[in-house]
Each structure stands twice: as C-alpha cells, then as structure tokens.
C-alpha cells in the first residue's frame, strides 16, 4: 500500500510551549491534526480556567490564517487547586482534562503534586463531572529504578485512587511499559492510555546507539524491546483504550546537548509518518485510523473530525535542525529518513 486516506487525526498529548517557541512548533501540528490536547506545563503552569483560556487564545492567535485547528486545554493540578476551579473547568467546552504531574517527575513539574493520594476531594469532582484526569504516571522516589517508575506508580499510586474513585476517567499518558498496557486493559472502560510514536518505534538501545543520544531522552524513558512490542500490540489491537498522543516536547538544542540535558523529543513535524511506519512494520497500517482518529475522540466524548488526510509512502529527509524562536531545535530522526508523509492539502 502506498496511499492511505484516513479521518483527520487528533493529538491527545502535545507540548506547544509559548511565545516564539509556540509560533515555531504550532504549524506542523495545525497542518495535520484537527485537535490537540495542549499540556499545561508552562512556566508558570496553567492552573486556572482563566490562564487556560488565555493560553488557548495565544495559540489561536499563532495559527496560520484559515486554520481549523482546535486547541483543547488541560489544567495543571496542584495541591492548591480548588473544587470550584475543577467545576468551572468541567463546564467549559475548551477544557478537556486536568493533568497530574507528580512533583519532580518531569519537565516543569515542580509545581505538581507531592502526594497524589490526598486529593480525594478533587477526584470526587472529576468523577462526578466526567472531567478527564491525565496522569504522568511515574513515582519520583529516587530509590526506585528509573525503568520501574511507571509500573510502581500504577500499582502504588493510581490503583488505590481508582479503587476509591471507580468512576474516575483516567488517561495514562505516554504509556511505556507492558505493565501499563496490562493495567489499562484490565481496568474499566473509563481508563485509557495515550501512546507516543517514539515509544512504538524505539527501545532503550536507541538511547545509546553508537554513543549517548540526548535527543532520544524523554520521560518516561525508553524501555526494553519487550515493552515496545507490548505497546505496539496495544496500538494495533483496535481497542478503544489506546490512542494517539505524540508527547512532542520541544527543547532548544543547547538545553538537550548539555551536561544535564532536559527530557523531551520533538516529533510533531513527522509524527504521522512515524506512526504509519510503526503500524506498517506491524503489518497493520489499516488499523492506524482507529488509533489516530477515532478512539481518542470517542474517549473524550467528541465526534471524530469531519475531513481526512492522505498519507503517502514517500521518503522524506528530516532536517538537521528547525527554527525555535532565537534558537534551533533538533527533531527526532534529524538528518534521517521517514518513510511516510502527509500529503500537503491542496489549496
Ligand atoms: C515533557 C516536556 O518536555 O514538557 N518531556 C518529556 O520528556 N516527555 C514533559 C512530559 O510530558 O513528561
Ligand atoms: Zn509526562
Ligand atoms: Zn508530555
């Protein structure tokens, strides 16, 4: 197969940053995706409905003329978040989720939650209103091995919360382990997971291919091959519980190529091509539409997009760097080739 027409996809986990960075990274997403759930880990974090709507407006203002792209916003949960804030968020059509970052777990998570188990009053509001809780599911205990942090979080943090709040709608963001796949599969239909393209394509060996590869460092960190295979099986399974979330997370090159480089891979310019590769490698490219365009909106209670995109099997060379404000950014596969690309819309 060399061409694939599919319903326009959505990205259920995206970092757009702000200011000049936002202007630089928004177009590739807006060209391809109908909607994206925009992560709130700005500095300072997006903790109120007003801040989320102001951020939404800055995104809209940065859109190319005529774009139909719709940003959906997520609120950053803190220990100071009030039930009233969540009630207001649940009532607003442009706010689709609340994001739980364990404090210190990832980029810009310092304002996150030290002990997620104490927020029962807030989970009760989400349970009652149906407001989705997206979680960065990793424990932060430095004694827990970095490769085990997701599995330990699911067992020791999320499972008890779900026991107390069985109606809570939860997305395990950027799931990276076989344990996460199993956890989501065996939970009720209120629990789902987003999957990145990079975790479907790379195992932890890719971090050290010929030397240390800072642009392949993200959190949760790449795992063993057996986990990658479990994620790919989930993605192609046709289950409504697994859907596309790129976690495209741009950082200026000097912040990645550093003695202490930050976590995040920039994937959005080639994201659909990468997902197509992963599904094609698994011999299931015709399942891509369900994963990319149908399962996510169904979970979030939204209709699928009403138009289509066309993927063509045509190699594209990925630029070595891309502009990022006054800086540059190194995208995933920089200097390499991606096997599929999105056909530009005819104007
Ligand atoms: C993300 C970022 O840079 O904002 N980084 C990452 O490695 N995934 C934060 C996140 O999604 O955890
Ligand atoms: Zn995260
Ligand atoms: Zn992310």
Please indicate whether residue 264, judged by its CB atom, sits closer than 6 Å to ligand 1: yes
- Res 305: pLDDT: 98
- The per-residue pLDDT for range 305-342, each reduced to its tens digit, is 999 999 999 999 999 999 999 999 999 999 999 999 99
Residue 347: pLDDT band by 50, 70, 90 thresholds?
low
Please indicate whether residue 41, judged by its CB atom, sits closer than 6 Å to ligand 1: yes
- The per-residue pLDDT for range 64-116, each reduced to its tens digit, is 999 999 999 999 999 999 999 999 999 999 999 999 999 999 999 999 999 99
Indicate the angle between helix axes 83-91 and 49-61, nearest 10 degrees.
Answer: 40
Q: How far is the CA of 282 from the centre of ligand 1 (A)?
A: 27
Task: Return d(Cα 241, Cα 225) in angstroms, integer.
Answer: 22
Average pLDDT rounded to a whole number, residues 183-204: 98
Please indicate whether residue 136, judged by its CB atom, sits closer than 6 Å to ligand 1: yes
- Look at residue 163 and tell me whether its pLDDT is greater than 60: yes
- Res 123: pLDDT: 98
Please indicate whether residue 219, judged by its CB atom, sits closer than 6 Å to ligand 1: yes
Task: Return d(Cα 335, Cα 130) in angstroms, integer.
Answer: 44
Task: Return d(Cα 111, Cα 97) in angstroms, integer.
Answer: 17
The three-state DSSP-derived secondary structure of 291-325 is: HHHHHHHHHHCCCCCCCEEEEECCCEECCCCEEEC
Whose Cα sits closest to atom 5 in ligand 1? Answer: 264
Which residue is catalytic, options 18, 247, 306, 326?
A: 247
CA 157, 207, 246, 177: dihedral to nearest 10 degrees?
Answer: -40
- Res 345: pLDDT: 83
Please indicate whether residue 249, judged by its CB atom, sits closer than 6 Å to ligand 1: yes
Say which DSSP state 169 is in.
-
Task: Return d(Cα 44, Cα 254) in angstroms, integer.
Answer: 22
Asked if residue 268 lies in contact with residue 244, where contact means CB atoms within 8 angstroms, the answer is no
User: In the annotation, is 10 catalytic?
Assistant: no
Whose Cα sits closest to atom 6 in ligand 1? Answer: 264
Mutate which of 247, 248, 266 for ligand 1 pocket (most atoms within 8 A of beta carbon)? 247
Percent of the chain surpassing pLDDT 90: 99
Atom of ligand 1 nearest to the CA of 41: 4
Mutate which of 12, 252, 264 for ligand 1 pocket (most atoms within 8 A of beta carbon)? 264
- The per-residue pLDDT for range 234-290, each reduced to its tens digit, is 999 999 999 999 999 999 999 999 999 999 999 999 999 999 999 999 999 999 999
Residue 142: pLDDT band by 50, 70, 90 thresholds?
very high
Asked if residue 209 lies in contact with residue 190, where contact means CB atoms within 8 angstroms, the answer is no
Q: Where are the alpha helices (DSSP H) in 62-164?
A: 83-91, 120-129, 149-153, 159-164
Q: How far is the CA of 173 from the centre of ligand 1 (A)?
A: 11
- Closest to 95 in 3D by CA, of 40, 137, 43, 136: 40
Residue 1: pLDDT band by 50, 70, 90 thresholds?
confident
Asked if residue 262 lies in contact with residue 17, where contact means CB atoms within 8 angstroms, the answer is no
Please indicate whether residue 135, judged by its CB atom, sits closer than 6 Å to ligand 1: no
Asked if residue 10 lies in contact with residue 305, where contact means CB atoms within 8 angstroms, the answer is yes
Q: Is 282 exposed, middle or buried (0-12, 13-18, 19+ CB in 10 A)?
A: middle
Asked if residue 273 lies in contact with residue 340, where contact means CB atoms within 8 angstroms, the answer is yes
- Look at residue 301 and tell me whether its pLDDT is greater than 80: yes
CA distances from 333 to 235, 243, 254, 265, 271 (A): 21, 22, 17, 10, 11
Task: Return d(Cα 42, Cα 127) in angstroms, integer.
Answer: 26
Please indicate whether residue 15, judged by its CB atom, sits closer than 6 Å to ligand 1: yes
CA 153, 193, 173, 229: dihedral to nearest 10 degrees?
Answer: 80
Tell me which long-range contacts 63-66 makes (C-beta under 8 A, separation of at least 24): 63/26, 63/30, 64/27, 64/30, 64/31
Q: How far is the CA of 112 from the centre of ligand 3 (A)?
A: 14
- Res 271: pLDDT: 98
- Res 90: pLDDT: 98
């Amino acid at each position: 197969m060399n061409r694939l027409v599919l319903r326009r996809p959505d990205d259920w986990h995206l970092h757009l940053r702000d200011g000049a960075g936002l202007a630089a990274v928004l177009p590739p997403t807006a060209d391809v995706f109908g909607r994206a759930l925009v992560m709130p880990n700005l500095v300072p974090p997006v903790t109120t409905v007003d801040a989320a709507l102001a951020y939404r407006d800055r995104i809209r203002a940065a859109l190319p003329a005529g774009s139909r792209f719709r940003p959906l916003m997520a609120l950053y949960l803190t220990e100071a978040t009030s039930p009233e804030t969540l009630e207001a968020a649940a009532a607003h059509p442009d706010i689709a989720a609340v994001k739980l970052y364990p404090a210190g777990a990832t980029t810009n998570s310092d304002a996150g939650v030290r002990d997620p188990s104490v927020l029962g009053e807030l989970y009760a509001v989400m349970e009652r209103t149906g407001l989705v809780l997206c979680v960065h599911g990793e424990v932060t205990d430095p004694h827990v091995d970095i490769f085990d942090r997701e599995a330990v979080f699911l067992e020791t943090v999320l499972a008890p919360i779900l026991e107390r709040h069985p109606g809570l709608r939860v997305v395990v963001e950027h799931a990276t382990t076989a344990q996460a796949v199993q956890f989501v599969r065996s939970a009720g239909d209120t629990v789902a997971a987003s999957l990145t393209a990079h975790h479907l394509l790379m195992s932890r060996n890719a971090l050290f291919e010929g030397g240390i590869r800072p642009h392949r460092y993200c959190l949760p960190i790449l795992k063993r091959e057996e986990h990658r295979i479990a994620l790919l099986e989930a993605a192609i399974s046709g289950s409504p519980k697994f859907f596309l979330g790129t976690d495209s997370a741009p950082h200026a090159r000097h912040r990645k190529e550093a003695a202490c480089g930050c976590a995040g891979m920039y994937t959005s310019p080639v994201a659909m091509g990468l997902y197509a590769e992963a599904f094609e490698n698994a011999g299931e490219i015709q399942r891509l539409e369900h994963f990319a365009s149908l399962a996510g909106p169904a979970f979030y209670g939204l209709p699928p997009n009403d138009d289509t995109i066309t993927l063509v099997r045509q190699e594209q060379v990925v630029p070595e760097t891309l502009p990022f404000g006054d800086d540059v950014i190194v995208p995933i596969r920089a200097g390499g080739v991606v096997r599929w690309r999105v056909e530009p819309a005819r104007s």
